[in-house]
């Protein structure tokens, strides 16, 4: 194998290893998930031996079984529950991927809104809308294209009802503002 190709392959493998598993394998090692490992916050935490912390949505683990995998978030039944991640810098967001819980209660995510903006004073509720989750089948993976909405926070807001909010992974893709002409 020519050296250049070997080198490229090594780089691809390195990138693949450094990047945790994406919910969409085709993005593996190609796109950088801006949300992974970033600080996340949510309206409350469901009291349970399995800790449904907000950080479980950005842990790089796409497992969808709340009980078996223990890698999903889980709030209490809050009025208009919310979750958000702080990207640490302003990005133009191209896509957000949300992995729904796979072992039950998938319907709870119905109508959940993904929003992008620079303030979470109201937990993202009034930030520009990227899209709404409509496929609530168990373990569904929703990809929403945000048309380069700008912001340093990506939130999930369930409007108009009291609900449990749980997601198993949230991936955010985009580009740093300086990179754009």
Binding site for ligand NAG (CB under 6 A): 135, 137, 140-141
Beta carbon of residue 137, minimum distance to ligand NAG (angstroms, whole number): 4
User: Burial level of 14, CB count in 10 A (0-12/13-18/19+)?
Assistant: exposed
105: CB partners within 8 A, 6+ apart: 164, 166
The smaller minimum CB distance to ligand NAG, of residues 90 and 136, is found at 136
Beta carbon of residue 141, minimum distance to ligand NAG (angstroms, whole number): 6
Beta carbon of residue 142, minimum distance to ligand NAG (angstroms, whole number): 8
The smaller minimum CB distance to ligand NAG, of residues 23 and 57, is found at 23
- Hey, what are 169's tokens? 């992974």
Beta carbon of residue 113, minimum distance to ligand NAG (angstroms, whole number): 18
In angstroms, the Cα distances linking 21 to 60, 69, 95, 102, 162 are: 6, 15, 17, 17, 32
The smaller minimum CB distance to ligand NAG, of residues 77 and 135, is found at 135
- Hey, what are 37's tokens? 């490992």
The smaller minimum CB distance to ligand NAG, of residues 42 and 100, is found at 100
CA dihedral 45, 138, 62, 130 (to 10 degrees): -80
The smaller minimum CB distance to ligand NAG, of residues 71 and 142, is found at 142
Beta carbon of residue 139, minimum distance to ligand NAG (angstroms, whole number): 6
Pairing of strands 129-132, 82-99: unpaired
């Amino acid at each position: 194998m020519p050296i250049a190709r070997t080198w490229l392959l090594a780089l691809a493998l390195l990138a693949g290893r450094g990047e945790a598993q994406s919910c969409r394998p085709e993005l593996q090692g190609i796109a950088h998930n801006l949300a992974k490992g970033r600080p996340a916050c949510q309206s409350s935490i469901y009291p349970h031996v399995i800790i449904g912390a907000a950080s479980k949505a950005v842990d790089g683990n796409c497992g969808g079984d709340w009980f078996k995998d223990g890698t999903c978030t889980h709030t209490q039944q809050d009025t208009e529950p919310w979750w958000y991640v702080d990207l640490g810098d302003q990005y133009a967001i191209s896509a957000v991927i949300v992995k729904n819980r796979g072992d039950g209660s998938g319907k709870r995510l119905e109508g959940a809104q993904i929003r992008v903006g620079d303030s979470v004073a109201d937990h993202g509720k009034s930030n520009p809308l990227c899209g709404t989750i409509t496929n609530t089948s168990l373990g569904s993976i929703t990809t929403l294209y945000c048309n380069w909405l700008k912001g340093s926070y990506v939130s999930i807001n369930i409007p108009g009802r009291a609900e449990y909010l749980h997601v198993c992974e949230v991936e955010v893709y985009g580009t740093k503002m300086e990179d754009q002409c």
